[in-house]
Structure formats: C-alpha cells, structure tokens
C-alpha cells in the first residue's frame, strides 16, 4: 500500500471504520465495566491528546 494511490485512497475508509469501532468499544466498556463512567469523566482525552 505504501507508495500507491490506492493505498492513499483507503485511508479515509480505514479511519471511518476505526471511528466506528471506537464508538462500539466505548458503549461496551460503559455497559460492562464497573467504574468506567467515572474513569471516562476524569480522563477527557483518550485518543488524540488535547483534541479528543
């Protein structure tokens, strides 16, 4: 994929799929892990520092 226009074209698709997976994982953690809600409130930035 490196050095290929096709590889570059897949980046937005992979980023979208990664974002969807993050949302699903957050829901699963909130539902199944006791104390995760408190942790998520204390730790605001989980993926990209100072942004999200």
Contact between 36 and 30 under an 8 Å Cβ cutoff? The reply is: yes
Summarised one tens digit per residue, pLDDT across range 11-52 is 899 999 998 999 999 999 999 999 999 998 888 776 777 766
Tell which wins on pLDDT, 9 or 50. 9
Confidence at residue 52, expressed as pLDDT on a 0 to 100 scale: 66
Confidence at residue 6, expressed as pLDDT on a 0 to 100 scale: 86
Token reading at 43: 């730790």
Confidence at residue 44, expressed as pLDDT on a 0 to 100 scale: 75
**How many residues are present in the chain?**
52
Confidence at residue 2, expressed as pLDDT on a 0 to 100 scale: 66
Confidence at residue 27, expressed as pLDDT on a 0 to 100 scale: 94
Q: How far is CA 33 from the centre of its chain?
A: 18
pTM for the model stands at 0.69
């Amino acid at each position: 994929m490196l050095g290929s226009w096709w590889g570059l074209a897949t980046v937005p698709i992979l980023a979208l799929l990664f974002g969807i997976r993050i949302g699903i994982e957050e829901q699963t953690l909130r539902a199944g892990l006791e104390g995760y809600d408190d942790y998520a409130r204390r730790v605001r930035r989980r993926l990209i520092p100072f942004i999200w």
